[in-house]
């Protein structure tokens, strides 16, 4: 009798839950939770709920029943078929190389960085997509960096791109009006990206542009500075690391099939899933400068900070850049086909970052602009010279950027994210500083010539730039 009752109860329960996976099923329950794309200005409550879903998706270990794995698709950011069906579900080199975003972004908190062991082998993935060797002829090996404050970084890049585009328009208009060649400096937020020239006939000359792509879009993500937005990066990373394809890039309307990777699962990530992940990343609190409770350290850090100014480190690692607005539009204004953009949706969502618990802690300048304390310039620089090839280990160019150029690493959080450098293979701060060459040579030489205690002062300062646990 008891047995019968239990059976009935189970049947009833199973019936109610007909479409719902069982709570213990090996699936990610939060997938598809956001069924409509968020639109307009979100209330604090709506933001918090989206954030919760994003966090769950970032932490989830995706399973085959979610559509993880990509037997017939490569890691390429443009949908590309493999030549043969892949043998392995997970492959350390060509990927999929992990089951969760959180597997690599967790030091010292979720969304943080990671150790050398989580390095990623970045390749374009069009040919030789299935490499099984770490030989640099196949891929560029990169260390996992942190995502703290990523929303502020993307907002800065959007405003900088807007400013540079305005300078281009200005040059063209002035050249037309004066019927003379016009040459203008491409400066935004105190960072110079060289010069642009326009001719009376309406041609632009980009030969003197430096540190940014020719379309003058500042791409703040990846250590190469080649990815535009958290949205684009998330769609890339989901395919590369987990074999989870976003509908907005791999869906029927783009590839002619809703199961591009041939694993039997259609539309693995809805636009709403991607939005939740973006919202969570965009709202991650920025790292802080935390002065330790130690008189000697406080004094050393102060000396170290001014030494960095004297050495010229802050020419690239700028203490802060001013940000006009904390309204984070998603989808954003700068993405192109393959990633949703503001112009491809009816109404983008606005995540007001001033609603976060951390926004009030940021300083503002006299214009009311938020000073984002990134210690960076979102610009690419030449990092090697003929005497110093230390950071020139990569053999492949990525997105047509010279293999020896990298975007200035933002130093906020550096006190919590050892090891260092784009390959995460410098274990001590002094060693990565001494590895700088090229555009940073003069500054590195000044550091190298300083005495031991001044060098340690710089380390003392860098160690105050932390991610709070
Ligand atoms: C196997 C480790 C690994 C996994 C898993 C992983 N990442 Fe990353 N992530 C990296 C590495 C390495 C980089 C640096 C890439 C580069 O510089 O080219 C990075 C960079 C990023 C960046 C750019 C940060 C910046 O400031 O440049 C974002 C955003 C990001 N990851 C999001 C994600 C998301 C979202 C997921 C899950 C879908 C994810 N990552 C999964 C290793 C990983
Ligand atoms: C010309 C611009 C430039 C100058 C000047 C410069 N840096 Fe850098 N810095 C970079 C770039 C680019 C990177 C990323 C290098 C890489 O990993 O490929 C970097 C990386 C770093 C890192 C590693 C960050 C991490 O998370 O891995 C530290 C620390 C650092 N710089 C400190 C300094 C100090 C101290 C000075 C002055 C002695 C200095 N830098 C001068 C551009 C510069």
Identify the pLDDT of residue 156. Answer: 98
Question: What pLDDT, in 10s, does the model give residues 40-84?
Answer: 999 999 999 999 999 999 999 999 999 999 999 999 999 999 988
Identify the pLDDT of residue 1. Answer: 41
Identify the pLDDT of residue 106. Answer: 98
Protein residue with least CA distance to atom 35, ligand 1: 234
Question: How far is Cα 313 from Cα 381, in angstroms, rounded to an integer?
Answer: 13
Ligand 1 binding pocket mutation candidate from 235, 237, 379, 420 (most atoms within 8 A of CB): 237
Angle at 357 between CA 355 and CA 358, to 5 degrees: 105
For residue 396, pLDDT beyond 70: yes
For residue 405, pLDDT beyond 70: yes
For residue 179, pLDDT beyond 60: yes
Region 222-228: mean pLDDT is 97
Contact call for residues 351 and 47 (beta carbons, < 8 A) = yes
Burial 369-399 (b: 16+ CB within 10 A, else e): bbebbbbbbbbbbbbbbeebebbbbbeeebe
For residue 360, pLDDT beyond 80: yes
Question: Relative to the alpha carbon of 429, which ligand is closest?
Answer: 2
Which percentage of the chain shows pLDDT scores above 90?
88
Identify the pLDDT of residue 126. Answer: 80
- Tell me, in angstroms, the distance from the centre of ligand 1 to residue 197's CA: 36
- Tell me, in angstroms, the distance from the centre of ligand 1 to residue 422's CA: 12
For residue 150, pLDDT beyond 50: yes
Region 111-132: mean pLDDT is 90
Region 140-165: mean pLDDT is 98
Protein residue with least CA distance to atom 31, ligand 2: 433
Ligand 1 binding pocket mutation candidate from 222, 226, 279 (most atoms within 8 A of CB): 222
From the CB of 152, is ligand 1 less than 6 Å away? no
Higher pLDDT, 83 or 452: 452
From the CB of 124, is ligand 1 less than 6 Å away? no
Among 239, 276, 277, CA closest to 261: 239
From the CB of 276, is ligand 1 less than 6 Å away? no
From the CB of 102, is ligand 1 less than 6 Å away? no
Weakest mean pLDDT among 9-18, 155-164, 408-417: 9-18
* Minimum-distance ligand 1 atom for the alpha carbon of 244: 38
For residue 8, pLDDT beyond 60: no
For residue 246, pLDDT beyond 80: yes
Question: What pLDDT, in 10s, does the model give residues 299-358?
Answer: 999 999 999 999 999 999 999 999 999 999 999 999 999 999 999 999 999 999 999 999
From the CB of 219, is ligand 1 less than 6 Å away? no
Region 232-239: mean pLDDT is 98
For residue 421, pLDDT beyond 80: yes
Protein residue with least CA distance to atom 13, ligand 1: 144
Identify the pLDDT of residue 18. Answer: 53
Ligand 2 binding pocket mutation candidate from 378, 382, 409 (most atoms within 8 A of CB): 409
Among 129, 147, 148, CA closest to 139: 129
Torsion sign, CA atoms 323, 328, 329, 334: positive
Both tokens of residue 390?
């230390």
Identify the pLDDT of residue 3. Answer: 44
- Tell me, in angstroms, the distance from the centre of ligand 1 to residue 145's CA: 7
For residue 6, pLDDT beyond 50: no
Question: If you search the block for the tokens 């001013």, which residue do you land on?
Answer: 322
Protein residue with least CA distance to atom 36, ligand 2: 313
Protein residue with least CA distance to atom 40, ligand 2: 313
Question: Relative to the alpha carbon of 460, which ligand is closest?
Answer: 2
Mean pLDDT, the chain, rounded, equals: 94
Identify the pLDDT of residue 291. Answer: 86
| CA of residue 463 relative to chain centroid, distance | 23
Identify the pLDDT of residue 234. Answer: 98
For residue 14, pLDDT beyond 60: no
From the CB of 374, is ligand 1 less than 6 Å away? no
Identify the pLDDT of residue 79. Answer: 96
Protein residue with least CA distance to atom 36, ligand 1: 101
Contact call for residues 459 and 430 (beta carbons, < 8 A) = yes
- Tell me, in angstroms, the distance from the centre of ligand 2 to residue 126's CA: 31
Among 68, 128, 64, 59, CA closest to 93: 128
Identify the pLDDT of residue 273. Answer: 98
Ligand 2 binding pocket mutation candidate from 112, 140, 417, 436 (most atoms within 8 A of CB): 436
Ligand 2 binding pocket mutation candidate from 191, 316, 447 (most atoms within 8 A of CB): 316
Both tokens of residue 119?
């390095």
- Tell me, in angstroms, the distance from the centre of ligand 1 to residue 218's CA: 18
For residue 4, pLDDT beyond 50: no
Identify the pLDDT of residue 325. Answer: 98
From the CB of 238, is ligand 1 less than 6 Å away? yes
Question: How far is Cα 59 from Cα 102, in angstroms, rounded to an integer?
Answer: 5
């Amino acid at each position: 009798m008891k047995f019968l009752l239990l059976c009935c109860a189970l049947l009833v329960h199973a019936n109610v839950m007909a479409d719902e996976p069982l709570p213990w099923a090996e699936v990610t329950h939060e997938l598809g939770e956001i069924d409509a794309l968020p639109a307009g200005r979100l209330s604090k409550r709506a933001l918090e709920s989206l954030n919760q879903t994003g966090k769950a998706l970032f932490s989830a270990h995706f399973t085959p029943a979610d559509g993880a794995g990509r037997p017939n698709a490569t890691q390429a950011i443009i949908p590309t078929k493999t030549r043969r069906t892949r043998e392995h579900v997970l492959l350390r080199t060509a990927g999929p190389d992990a089951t969760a975003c959180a597997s690599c972004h967790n030091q010292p908190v979720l969304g943080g960085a990671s150790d050398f062991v989580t390095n990623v082998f970045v390749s374009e993935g069009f040919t030789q997509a299935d490499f099984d060797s770490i030989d640099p002829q196949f891929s560029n090996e990169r260390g996992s960096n942190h995502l703290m404050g990523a929303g502020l970084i993307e907002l800065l890049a959007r405003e900088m791109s807007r400013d540079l585009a305005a300078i281009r328009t200005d040059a063209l208009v002035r050249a037309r009006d004066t019927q003379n060649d016009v040459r203008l400096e491409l400066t935004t937020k105190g960072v110079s990206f060289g010069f642009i020239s326009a001719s009376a006939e309406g041609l632009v000359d980009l030969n003197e542009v430096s540190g940014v792509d020719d379309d003058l879009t500042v791409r703040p993500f990846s250590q190469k500075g080649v990815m535009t937005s958290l949205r684009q990066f998330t769609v890339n990373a989901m395919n590369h690391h987990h074999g989870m394809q976003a509908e907005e890039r791999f869906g029927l309307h783009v590839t002619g099939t809703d199961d591009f990777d041939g694993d039997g699962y259609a539309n693995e990530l809805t636009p709403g899933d991607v939005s939740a992940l973006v919202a969570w990343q965009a709202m991650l609190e920025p790292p802080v400068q935390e002065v330790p409770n130690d008189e000697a350290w406080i004094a050393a850090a102060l000396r170290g900070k001014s030494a960095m100014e004297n050495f010229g480190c802050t020419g690239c690692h700028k203490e802060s850049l001013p940000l006009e607005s904390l309204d984070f539009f998603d989808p954003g204004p700068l993405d192109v086909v393959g990633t949703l953009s503001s112009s491809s949706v009816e109404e983008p969502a606005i995540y007001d970052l001033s609603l976060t618990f951390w926004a009030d802690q940021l300083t503002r300048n006299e214009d009311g602009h938020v000073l984002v304390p990134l210690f960076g310039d979102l610009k690419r620089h030449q990092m090697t010279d003929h005497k110093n090839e230390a950071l020139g280990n990569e053999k492949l160019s990525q997105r047509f950027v010279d293999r020896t150029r990298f975007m200035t690493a933002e130093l906020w959080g550096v006190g919590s994210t050892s090891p260092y450098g784009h390959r995460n293979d410098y274990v001590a701060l002094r060693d990565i500083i001494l590895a700088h060459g090229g555009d940073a040579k003069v500054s590195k030489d000044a550091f190298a010539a300083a005495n031991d205690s001044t060098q340690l002062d710089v380390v003392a300062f860098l160690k105050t730039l932390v991610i709070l646990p």
